[in-house]
Amino acid sequence: MTILPTPQPISDPDVALLASISAAIMTDYIDPASDPWVGSPFAWIKTRPSRQVGAIGEQLVADWCAAKGLDVLRTGDAEADRIINGKQVEVKFSTLWAGGNYVFQQIRDQRYDIVVMLGLSPFMASCWVVPKAILRELPLKPGLSYQHGGRLGRDTMWLQFHSTNPPDWLNVFGGTLAAAFQHLAS
């Protein structure tokens, strides 16, 4: 786990004064109602390029599982992201989209046993641990759809739902971090 350096104190009194003024007027320019990520410990993730966000999600899940005492290994191939407690795991990650949705993308038919779906809101985290077989069942469950069109576009799916209203079928696979952990630990 990378630890960010401690912010350096400002020794120049004029810079300290300017920083104080900046902090005081920030609320005139940043409306927490229009940007719910203001003040969130996860806000930095929203600043990263999309190609990094998935890797951040994988690392969050892996480090959280390890911190909770589960065995976590890298898989060594591209068919799954981690081996957690002996299970091949694919990690899908979504931050809250505009409109309040979670969107878990690029759910492919690869060699994994379960999908860990971590959804982050500014001050809340949700998590589900879903067996691959459930995600591949036909007809597709509510919220699941093929991500790409065309005849060959059936290999990749996504799951979309409002963060406060997951589909009923998903509820048995977690919802909270504690409930998801119970699925991972069993």
Cα–Cα distance measured from residue 64 to residue 66, given in angstroms and rounded to the nearest whole number = 5
Does residue 17 fall inside a structural domain? no
What is the per-residue pLDDT for 39? 82
DSSP state, residue 99? T
Look at residues 87, 54, 59, 57 and name the one whose alpha carbon lies nearest to residue 71: 87
pLDDT higher than threshold 70 for residue 10: yes
* Domain of residue 123, residue span: 37-185
Does residue 1 fall inside a structural domain? no
Which span out of 8-22, 136-150, 152-166, 170-184 was modeled with the highest average pLDDT? 170-184
Does residue 11 fall inside a structural domain? no
CA 113 to chain centre: 19
- Residue 92 is encoded by which pair of tokens? 């899908």
What is the per-residue pLDDT for 19? 81
pLDDT tens figures, 70-104: 999 999 889 999 999 999 999 999 999 988 999 99
Average pLDDT estimate for 57-68? 96
- CATH value at residue 143: 3.40.1350
Please count the structural domains in the chain.
Answer: 1
Does residue 10 fall inside a structural domain? no
Does residue 119 fall inside a structural domain? yes
In which element (H, E) is residue 17 found?
Answer: helix 13-29
Average pLDDT estimate for 161-181? 97
Average pLDDT estimate for 147-166? 83
Does residue 24 fall inside a structural domain? no
Cis bond upstream, residue 32 (ω within 30): no
User: Of all residues in the chain, what percent are helix, strand and coil, respectively (each to 5)?
Assistant: 30, 25, 40
Average pLDDT estimate for 118-130? 96
Does residue 3 fall inside a structural domain? no
| Mean pLDDT (the chain, rounded) | 89
Does residue 181 fall inside a structural domain? yes
Residues 49, 168 contacting (CB under 8 angstroms): no
